[in-house]
């Protein structure tokens, strides 16, 4: 994304020695390149190939069945539900994570009193793994967990419930955990970017009578719009693909199909119940295509415009 | 003013669950619900002692450390020469290779979970910690190489030219000129990858598996939550505290350096 750095200009040496020197340099780079291609590009290609087979489990022999998995996908209500759930999760999580992160980051970058303390607090979720996140919030939302005990303490006992085992609240919990863990780190990212803005620019705007809201959206936002796009891409990808691990720990897609997202289905069809690796990878391909389309749209929409 | 309240409220929401987890770890099981926000020491270190044995946390922490440290060494051993090669390469091939690495950022790790598992089985390395070490260091190459290349580019090429005149070989130049000058870059990549390897969950669960001898602390922790609804919250809290401590200690020591490393890593990714 941000690798447009040009090689430093040096006086061109004689052609023969350049070729020889490049060959020597290749020896330095090839191990890493091969390493990376075998372990990441290789499996990605394999995913596309497997999606055209009826491979059920590891011991079975796969057979090529063309687009059958994809045809089945469009008639499968579980996939339909998962698409709706994924869309809800994205729409509810990503805008708050990114816009909220930008606003918090703007205030952090002003270096108000106590900003150092808030920085540390906002950074903490970035240190917590998805396994820890899922485990902690399973008990926070659990029947005898933090939320219910607080509700009971303030006399709202009738509001208590098993939040994760309830079809109408389970997805809300997953969404809240996503916001809890993503917002803080985004604000640190934005603060890092916005602190590069010269304080004089704000001071001048203040003289012209611009309030914080105007300074935030008329000055800070246009200056950092490309960065806004980068953070948006990160969160979009993380929510789209990364939710499987969180859901695995917290709800396993349940109750019913309340938290079954596309990335969860990739895991579910490969590893649980009667496995169907071919079908799981077909959903993986769908996810990959949706991810690529999303990235292209975000890239287009958030190009630097001045 | 509104901003202060908003940021304060968010800070409270961030800290409250963590505060609750820490104080609950020292409580009797049923006290956790009755007095959620009052700290007490009613269970002493009992929850910790139980969880330590139940999770075989000693083994799990060792496995985490073994995987993290090995993957880190391997990552740097492969990425450093590659970054040197890229930083000094002239002409088209160099920039094409750089594009290939940049493309790696766009591939979400999760997409290839199942094929990677099949690769592990194919290599006869299913259920081994060594495969995850190979996998983690491979998947970190794009980020590590591109970050390190940027650091290597800041080394003035005059240094290299004068070393060449003195008759030093490429490898010697790499080792004695470049490596010492890019130590800050090595530290950034090291910190960043330490956190990401230590916290890895899904691949380790699927490939290394949940058996106590091989599993990492991240794979062990969620087993404290019982599927039958009989979870002991105080014990879960103690387990969470044990598993979080290593990274928090690291943050206490490195502080700003660690923040900067994670910010650089995220933005480049």
pLDDT recorded at residue B208: 92
Q: What's the distance, CA B252 to chain centroid? A: 16
Whole-number average pLDDT of chain B: 86
Domains of chain B (ranges, CATH numbers): 2-44 (no CATH), 57-268 (1.10.3720.10)
Inform me whether the C-beta atom of residue A166 falls under 8 Å from chain B C-beta atoms: no
pLDDT recorded at residue B79: 92
- CA–CA dist A167, B74 (Å, integer): 45
Report whether B94 contacts B149 (CB < 8 A). no
Inform me whether the C-beta atom of residue A121 falls under 8 Å from chain B C-beta atoms: yes
Report pLDDT digits (tens) over A194-223. 887 777 777 777 777 777 788 888 888 888
Q: Do A31 and B82 touch (CB under 8 A)?
A: yes
- Predicted confidence band at B268 (pLDDT cuts at 50, 70, 90)? low
| Token output for A192 | 């890092």
Q: B42 CA to chain A: closest CA distance, Å?
A: 18
Please say if the pLDDT value at position A8 is more than 50: no
Range from B15-19, B64-68, B83-87 carrying the lowest mean pLDDT: B83-87
Q: Do A29 and B3 touch (CB under 8 A)?
A: no
SS (H, E, C) chain B: CHHHHHHHHHHHHHHHHHHHHHHHCCCCCCHHHHCCCCCCCCCCCHHHHHHHHHCCHHHHHHHHHHHHHHHHHHHHHHHHHHHHHHHHCCCHHHHHHHHHHHHHHCCCHHHHHHHHHHHHHHCCCCCCHHHHHHHHHHHCHHHHHHHHHHHHHCCCHHHHHHHHHCCCCHHHHHHHHHHHHCHHHHHHHHHHHHHHHHCCCHHHHHHHCCCCCCCCHHHHHHHHCCCCCCCCHHHHHHHHHHHHHHHHHHHHHHCHHHHHHHHHHHHHC
Of A143-157, B28-42, B55-69, the range with the highest mean pLDDT is B55-69
Q: Do B262 and A126 touch (CB under 8 A)?
A: yes
Range from A137-146, A274-283, B125-134, B154-163 carrying the lowest mean pLDDT: B154-163
Q: Do B10 and A32 touch (CB under 8 A)?
A: no
Query: Any residues with CB less than 8 A from the CB of B191 and at least 6 apart, and which?
Result: B250, B254, B257, B258, B261, B262
For B251-260, what is the mean pLDDT? 86
pLDDT recorded at residue A199: 74
For B172-198, what is the mean pLDDT? 88
Report pLDDT digits (tens) over A241-293. 888 999 999 988 878 888 899 999 999 888 887 778 888 899 999 999 999 89
Report whether A126 contacts A184 (CB < 8 A). yes
- Predicted confidence band at A305 (pLDDT cuts at 50, 70, 90)? low
3-state DSSP assignment of residue A64:
strand
Domains of chain A (ranges, CATH numbers): 70-301 (1.10.3720.10)
Report pLDDT digits (tens) over A222-232. 888 888 888 99
User: What is the share, in percent, of chain B residues with pLDDT greater than 90?
Assistant: 35
Q: B152 CA to chain A: closest CA distance, Å?
A: 11
- CA–CA dist B185, B188 (Å, integer): 5
For A148-169, what is the mean pLDDT? 86
For A77-101, what is the mean pLDDT? 93
């Amino acid at each position: 994304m941000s690798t447009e750095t040009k090689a430093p200009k040096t006086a061109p040496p004689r052609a023969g020695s350049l070729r020889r020197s490049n060959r020597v340099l290749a020896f330095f780079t090839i191990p890493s390149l091969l390493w990376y291609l075998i372990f990441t590009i290789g499996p990605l290609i394999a995913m596309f190939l497997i999606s055209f087979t009826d491979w059920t489990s590891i011991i079975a022999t796969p057979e090529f069945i063309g687009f059958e998995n994809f045809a089945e996908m469009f008639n499968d209500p579980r996939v339909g539900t998962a698409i709706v759930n994924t869309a809800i999760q994205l729409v509810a999580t990503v805008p708050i994570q990114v816009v909220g992160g930008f606003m918090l980051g703007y205030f952090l970058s002003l270096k108000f009193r106590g900003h150092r303390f808030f920085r540390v607090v906002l950074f903490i979720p970035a240190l917590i793994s998805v396994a820890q996140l899922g485990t902690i919030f399973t008990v926070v939302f659990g029947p005898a967990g933090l939320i219910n005990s607080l509700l009971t303490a303030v006399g709202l006992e009738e509001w208590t419930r098993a939040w994760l085992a309830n079809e109408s609240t389970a997805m809300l919990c997953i969404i809240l955990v996503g916001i809890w863990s993503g917002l803080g780190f985004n604000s640190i990212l934005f603060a890092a970017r916005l602190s590069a803005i010269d304080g004089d620019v704000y001071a001048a705007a203040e003289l012209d009578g611009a309030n914080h809201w105007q300074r935030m959206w008329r000055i800070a936002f246009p200056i950092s719009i490309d960065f806004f796009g980068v953070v948006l891409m990160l969160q979009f990808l993380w929510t789209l693909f990364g939710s499987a691990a969180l859901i695995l720990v917290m709800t396993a897609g349940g109750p019913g199909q309340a938290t079954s997202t596309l990335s969860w289905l990739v895991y579910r069809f490969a590893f649980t119940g009667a496995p169907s690796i071919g079908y799981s990878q077909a959903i993986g391909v769908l996810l990959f295509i949706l991810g690529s389309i999303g990235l292209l749209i975000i890239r287009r929409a958030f190009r630097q415009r001045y | 003013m509104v901003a202060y309240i908003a940021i304060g409220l968010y800070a409270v929401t961030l800290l409250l669950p963590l505060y609750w987890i820490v104080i609950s770890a020292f409580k009797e099981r049923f006290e956790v619900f009755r007095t959620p926000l009052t700290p007490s020491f009613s269970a002493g270190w009992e929850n910790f002692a139980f969880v330590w044995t139940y999770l075989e946390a000693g083994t799990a922490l060792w496995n985490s450390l073994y995987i993290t440290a090995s993957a880190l060494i391997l990552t740097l051993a492969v990425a450093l020469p590659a970054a040197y090669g890229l930083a000094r390469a002239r002409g088209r091939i160099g920039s094409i290779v750089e594009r290939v690495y940049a493309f790696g950022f766009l591939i979400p790790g999760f997409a290839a979970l199942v094929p990677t598992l099949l690769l592990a089985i194919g290599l006869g390395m299913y259920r081994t910690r060594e495969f995850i070490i190979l996998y983690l260091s491979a998947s970190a190459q794009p980020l590590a190489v591109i970050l390190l290349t940027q650091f290597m580019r800041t080394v003035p090429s005059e240094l290299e030219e004068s070393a060449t005149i003195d008759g030093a070989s490429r490898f010697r130049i790499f080792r004695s000129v470049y490596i010492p000058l890019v130590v800050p870059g090595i530290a950034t990549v090291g910190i960043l990858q330490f956190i990401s390897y230590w916290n890895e969950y899904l691949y380790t669960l699927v490939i290394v598996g949940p058996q106590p001898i091989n599993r990492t602390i991240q794979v062990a922790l969620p087993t404290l939550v019982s599927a039958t609804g009989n979870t002991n919250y105080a014990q879960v809290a103690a387990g969470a505290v044990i598993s979080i401590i290593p990274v928090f200690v690291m943050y206490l020591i490195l502080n700003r350096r660690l923040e900067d490393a994670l910010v650089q890593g995220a933005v480049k990714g």
